Every structure is written in C-alpha cells, then in structure tokens.
Amino acid sequence: MKASIADYGVAVIFVLALCLGASAEQLSSRECENLGFTGLALCSDCNTLSEYVKDKELVSDCFKCCTEDSNDATTKITYSGAVLEVCMRKLVFYPEVVSFIEEEKDQFPSVKVQYVFNSPPKLIMLDDAGQQKETIRIDNWKREHILQFLREKVKSLAAD
C-alpha cells in the first residue's frame, strides 16, 4: 500500500511539473493576437498587470506573449514599413483610425492602408524585405497613439 501512495505522489509531482512547464511556454503571434496581446509587451508589464488584475489566466496568457526585458531592446526595434489593415464596413466603429487615415496617414509614405473584409484594425509591421515581422491590434488606440507609435517604430524614407 505504501508503494502505491508513493507512486501516486510521484505522479502528482510529475503532473504539476508538466503544468508549470506548459504555463511558461510561449504562444504564437497569432494566438497572442487572438487573446488581445500585441507581442510587444515586456514581461515586466505582465508583472505590473498581475498587481492590478487578479485573473490568473489573463496574467498567465500575458507571460506567454511577452518579451523579456533586456537593455531596452524593444524600444530600439524599427521597421521599414507597415500595413494598416482594417475592414471598410467596420470603420464606423473606429473613428480614431478613420481620423488617422484621413488626416495623418500622408506623413508616413511607407505605411499603406489595406481594406480586408472582417479584419479588426491592426498594424502589420514589415522588415526591409517587405515581410511581416509583427502584428499589432489597434482597436482601442487613439489617433495620437498611432502617430507616436509609427514615428518611433517606422523608419523614415531616406531622401534620394
């Protein structure tokens, strides 16, 4: 009987170890996007989130989608261009995005607007080869936040 209890204890510890290991795994950018995380959050942001939000699953998801803090590395990341993807039919629900497109978009020649059916507003960040590197949902961003983000993250085109 003692052997079976010991075996049970070992099994429980093994299962707990698997669960803890699984919680530390990273999710794909698509999974993070579907959860509402951009992939640009630092893990220290998740620590701050955990102080204010007591939803353990949400905090766990944050940690699965964050980037380790290291010498301010994420602020140095820049992109060659971006695609602002949005559904034309849903634009009425995003006046800040409409305002950006109508009044500010021309400041960013390397940012293109693409209308895709049923797409939430998002920025698809592009590398030098024009390949997608990051997708950032901007559903609730104000126009000023879109401007600030693009000024910091999109390289200005060099004058020829």
Task: Report yes or no: 61 and 43 within 8 Å, Cβ to Cβ.
Answer: no
Statement to judge: residues 68 and 89 lie in one domain:
no
Q: Has residue 1 been placed in a domain?
A: no
Among 47, 72, 97, which residue terminates a domain?
Answer: 72
CA angle 62, 77, 104 (to 5 degrees): 95
Range of the domain at 54: 23-72
- Asked if 97 and 149 sit in the same domain, the reply is yes
Task: Say which CATH number the domain at 125 has.
Answer: 3.40.30.50
Q: Are residues 61 and 88 in the same domain?
A: no
Residue by residue, pLDDT tens for the chain (160 residues) are 455 554 544 444 443 333 333 445 778 877 887 887 765 667 877 887 888 788 889 888 888 888 776 555 455 678 999 999 999 999 999 999 999 999 999 999 999 999 999 999 999 999 999 999 889 999 889 999 999 999 988 987 654 3
Residues 6 or more apart from 120 whose CB is under 8 A from it? 86, 87, 90, 137, 139
Does residue 149 form part of some domain? yes
For the chain, the domain total comes to: 2
Q: Is residue 8 part of a domain?
A: no
Token digits for 74? 């994420």
Distance in angstroms (rounded) separating the CA atoms of residues 132 and 55: 32
Q: Is residue 5 part of a domain?
A: no
> What pTM was computed for the model?
0.56
Residues 32 and 60 in one domain: yes
The verdict on 149 and 126 lying in the same domain is yes
- Please report whether residue 40 resides in a domain: yes
At which of 53, 72, 91 does a domain end?
Answer: 72
CA separation for the pair 51, 152 (Å, rounded)? 28
13 belongs to a structural domain: no
